[in-house]
Structure 1
Amino acid sequence: MTVPVIRRGERMDAPIHVPVAIVGAGACGLTAALMLRDAGIDCVVLERDAVPSGSTALSSGFVPAPNTRVQKSKNIEDSPRRFAADIQAKAHGTAAPQLATAYAEAIGPAIDALQASHGLEFVLLDDFLYPGHSRHRMHAVPEKTGAGLMARLQQAAEAADVPVVTRALVRELWLNARDEILGIAYERPDGTLEQLACDALILACNGFGGNAAMVQQLLPEMKDATFAGHTGNDGSAIAWGRALGARLADLGGYQGHGSWAVPQGALVSWALMMEGAVQINALGQRFHNETLGYSEAAVQVLAQPGSVAWNVFDEALLTFARGFPDFCEAEAAGALKRCDNEAALAAQIGCDVGALHATLAAAVAPGAAAPDGRVFKRALQAPFYAVKVTGALFHTQGGLDIDAHCHVLHEDASPFKNLLAAGGAARGVSGNAVWGYLSGNGLLSAIAGGYIAARSAAKLLETKT
């Protein structure tokens, strides 16, 4: 974790000045940079890794957005208001209201701008609904992966001549007596510090999922869980906020996932669960309503014997699953087990065949509501397929508190004039618990937040001149 040195003074005599500096070259930082370019504003993106990647590249790359050109072409009726309502419904009304509204309104224009102005191609995933979404609004690049999304954002940044300085670890923040950012200093691989003055600073860096001590303190239920996110999520943004006297919020919010294949260490698409697959524990029983969400499923799976479960599905669902690259990678790694009948499936799981039969025959009866409220469309048919999974921590949803314009807030709720934050550095729209995470909230915060932060920075520069 990097805790920056805070330098105070009325001026910064840096050799280079840029209107906007951006820390972090993930989806948030690159979106902000591209939007600034569209506004004719110069910026520099600082990335501490040798190659930009971050949480975006490790995600499924699915971005929820209403009223996009792609969604309208499918004649799907949706609106930012409906989307914001879905966000709040999943979070039981605990999502930051100013951000839920602002992000729901900004994400559609952001996706359209990335497509129209920077050549990013988006497709709409309209063959299933992710948990909590009342409309088909999940967008993805054709590769349907986070790595594909990052590659296209990087290509767009290169085409737009956005300067991305890699291996640049921010070590110092310079402010005046009025808490206005004057600039930063970042460390290069040879240990030298380079100074950069700026008129506005956007923190688009990281969460704290990779910081074991912070996870143990703030997310104790996940202290022993596998961390499946990017190691760069070390809590630096929170440390910077504390050093600056910024307010923090929703530090108990995070995205878990209840479908992390073991021992392969691969994500298995939750779309399977939404289409009829089930999770079965070592006792041969279902133990939760799988359609409520993959984030809270992480906690449910970790509570089972051995902290594992088996994703169970059939041939028809296998064909469906093979349309998702993450599933194909898990299958290629050897995660998929074929079982010709219930006895073979019970042997694979290590459970009593009678208990398994009762689960498949009764709890998965089509048309009847299971005790947990789930209603199945059809019964699973042999041969069965199974993947052994555990619960994992993907990324955190708490961080610097921000207003609807992505201005970082002081402890007294007053905004820093020219310090902005979004994406993993800031609080998201998932509330303060694992169950508040609506599918796609992470990339929603990153892309919509980057879009809003860029517009706020541009407005600051207008008032400055």
Structure 2
Amino acid sequence: MTATLAHTRAHICPASDLQADDHMPVVIVGGGACGLTAALALHRMGVECVVLERDAFAAGSTALSSGFIPAPCTQTQQAQGITDSVEAFAADIQAKAHGQAAPHLVQAYAQNIGPAMDALAEHHGLPWQVLDNFLYPGHSAHRMHAVPEKTGAGLMSRLQAAADAAGVVVLTQAQVTELWADEAQRIQGVGFVRPDGQTERIRCDAVLLACNGFGGATAMVKDLLPEMAEATYAGHVGNDGSAIAWGQQLGARLADLGAYQGHGSWAVPQGALISWALMMEGGVQINAQGQRFHDETQGYSEAAVHVLAQPGGVAWNVFDDALLAFAQGFPDFVAAQGAGAVQHAADANALAQLIGCPPDDLLATLNAVQPGTDPATGRTFQRALQAPFHAIKVTGALFHTQGGLDIDAHTRVLRQDGTPLPNLLAAGGAARGVSGQAVWGYLSGNGLLSAIAGGHIAAHNMQQILKDTP
């Protein structure tokens, strides 16, 4: 599969023409979780860097996420008495991806995410907590970490505060459009556009692309992810495929372009993410005909495709009082509820009227939600739902892509022949992830896993690159 070249201003320029007086050892393109994690790690190693962020403040895709990060063997996990292992986590990643995830990245990320999380806690004060009251789909242990706010925005604000405290230079409103490369494909500098339209340039010794994927590039999504061509895009508009465009111009290899994170629980018309924990704890999705249509516990990513295939491309998340109380422990849910996303029905007939479906069909669907295994979808229920009911109208959405530049275990960008480019690295959404080749390969938290573990790995490798640079 080949990628449509992203329609961005991203281009490669000959280093022999570069005119720039300023120099920085490392330039990081993108100020999300990946970029800031790498910058903080470089700071701890005494390596100077600058983070170039296109927006007015660092947020990116991370701020739009739930902010939950899976990691085994962290100090936080151990403090909560949770038993886990790198091997178990790696096995869970591959099981979800049907064995199609890049083995070298699965191992590298599973090994490095724990140390990365511990370093952020120990050196920069990020107060992790493990969500231990439910298991996200595909995980065999409680390993989902969050900051107290339990939001992606909360995670980003704490990473930004850590960067500020460390004196990390984060230059905002600086959209990188140019990479300057010599004949050996070594990146010698970058150019970025400022708010006044002027382009500034800086020389460097290594570059990390932490600028996410191509979810905001309509033509690329239509070409590479046709099932999502008409889906709501709930990711960051800055995900325009720039990393892929630069890579293609350098002759880099691409991988896993059919992989992405969808979500089958995007509230409409409010435009809010509804936690999939509702489904995992016993909620169901019902279509306009009053029927369930999949096993909701398989995963929220592939649920996006299932929901979009329903009449009108919508479904209703249905749950009861006990689940409502549970969901109100998530700030994102509380915000969605405040925006009017949650509607109420005293009984099955009122719920049918709300959904607009045949009452008898809906009643049969609800009556089938009983302790045991549902023969139609294979889902196992622990209990029945009890009236009164609550419902949220949702659609399927595209959040971020999981394919991109092919990288090795050190996050070095690879050429077509598999050899690494001299000093160009990529991590997070800019590179291939560990979700295999399709939507169903996405294990909960894979996006932030590759961002934080990848940023951590990239920083240590860039330190070595600088040592080896004449």
Q: Which amino acid aligns with 1:436?
A: G
Would you say 1:389 and 2:394 are equivalent positions?
yes
Would you say 1:52 and 2:42 are equivalent positions?
no
Whole-angstrom CA distance in 2 between matches of 1:118 and 1:258: 34
Aligned equivalent of 2:3: none
Alignment partner of 1:461 out of 447, 461, 466: 466
Whole-angstrom CA distance in 2 between matches of 1:60 and 1:368: 29
Aligned equivalent of 2:283: 277
Matches within 5 A, 1:174-253: 174-253=180-259
Aligned equivalent of 1:296: 302
Q: Which amino acid aligns with 1:304?
A: Q
Aligned equivalent of 2:92: 86
Q: Secondary structure at the match of 1:331?
A: helix
Whole-angstrom CA distance in 1 between matches of 2:375 and 2:127: 40
Q: Which amino acid aligns with 2:99?
A: G
Whole-angstrom CA distance in 1 between matches of 2:124 and 2:180: 33
Whole-angstrom CA distance in 2 between matches of 1:258 and 1:224: 14
Whole-angstrom CA distance in 1 between matches of 2:15 and 2:151: 45
Instruction: Say if 1:84 and 1:100, in contact at 8 Å, map to a contact too.
Output: yes
Matches within 5 A, 1:24-423: 24-362=30-368, 364-423=369-428
Whole-angstrom CA distance in 2 between matches of 1:357 and 1:427: 44
Would you say 1:448 and 2:453 are equivalent positions?
yes
- Cα deviation per residue 1:256-298 (whole Å; 9 max; x = unaligned)? 0000011111111000000000001111111000000000000
How many residue pairs get matched? 464
Q: Which amino acid aligns with 1:445?
A: S
Instruction: Say if 1:283 and 1:352, in contact at 8 Å, map to a contact too.
Output: yes
Whole-angstrom CA distance in 1 between matches of 2:17 and 2:395: 52
Q: Secondary structure at the match of 1:199?
A: strand
Whole-angstrom CA distance in 1 between matches of 2:83 and 2:92: 14
Q: Secondary structure at the match of 1:190?
A: coil
- Cα deviation per residue 1:206-262 (whole Å; 9 max; x = unaligned)? 211111111111100011100011111111111111111111111110000000011
Q: Secondary structure at the match of 1:379?
A: coil
Q: Which amino acid aligns with 2:446?
A: N
Instruction: Say if 1:58 and 1:230, in contact at 8 Å, map to a contact too.
Output: yes
Whole-angstrom CA distance in 1 between matches of 2:198 and 2:9: 17
Whole-angstrom CA distance in 2 between matches of 1:447 and 1:5: 27
Q: Which amino acid aligns with 2:416?
A: E
Instruction: Say if 2:11 and 2:245, in contact at 8 Å, map to a contact too.
Output: no
- Cα deviation per residue 1:144-163 (whole Å; 9 max; x = unaligned)? 00000000000000000001
Greater alpha carbon shift after TM alignment, 193-202 vs 285-294? 193-202
Whole-angstrom CA distance in 2 between matches of 1:143 and 1:361: 37
Q: Which amino acid aligns with 2:48?
A: D
Instruction: Say if 1:308 and 1:389, in contact at 8 Å, map to a contact too.
Output: yes
Report how far residue 441 of structure 1 moved. Answer: 0.4
Instruction: Say if 2:15 and 2:189, in contact at 8 Å, map to a contact too.
Output: no
Report how far residue 424 of structure 1 moved. Answer: 1.2
Report how far residue 377 of structure 1 moved. Answer: 0.4
Aligned equivalent of 2:4: none
Report how far residue 134 of structure 1 moved. Answer: 0.3
Task: Show structure 1 runs of 5+ residues with no match.
Answer: none
- Cα deviation per residue 1:331-376 (whole Å; 9 max; x = unaligned)? 11101111001110111111111111111112x1112433221110
Alignment partner of 1:17 out of 23, 34, 50: 23
Sequence identity percentage:
67
Whole-angstrom CA distance in 1 between matches of 2:274 and 2:376: 26
Whole-angstrom CA distance in 2 between matches of 1:117 and 1:10: 40
Whole-angstrom CA distance in 1 between matches of 2:375 and 2:57: 47
Instruction: Say if 2:308 and 2:314, in contact at 8 Å, map to a contact too.
Output: yes
Whole-angstrom CA distance in 1 between matches of 2:177 and 2:289: 52
Instruction: Say if 1:11 and 1:176, in contact at 8 Å, map to a contact too.
Output: no
Whole-angstrom CA distance in 2 between matches of 1:204 and 1:92: 27
- Cα deviation per residue 1:435-455 (whole Å; 9 max; x = unaligned)? 000000000010000000001
- Cα deviation per residue 1:10-53 (whole Å; 9 max; x = unaligned)? 58552111111100000000000000000000000001111111
Alignment partner of 1:429 out of 434, 453, 458: 434
Q: Secondary structure at the match of 1:210?
A: coil
Greater alpha carbon shift after TM alignment, 376-385 vs 75-84? 75-84
Whole-angstrom CA distance in 2 between matches of 1:459 and 1:338: 58
Instruction: Say if 1:31 and 1:447, in contact at 8 Å, map to a contact too.
Output: yes
- When the two chains are superposed, the root-mean-square deviation of aligned CA atoms in Å is 1.1
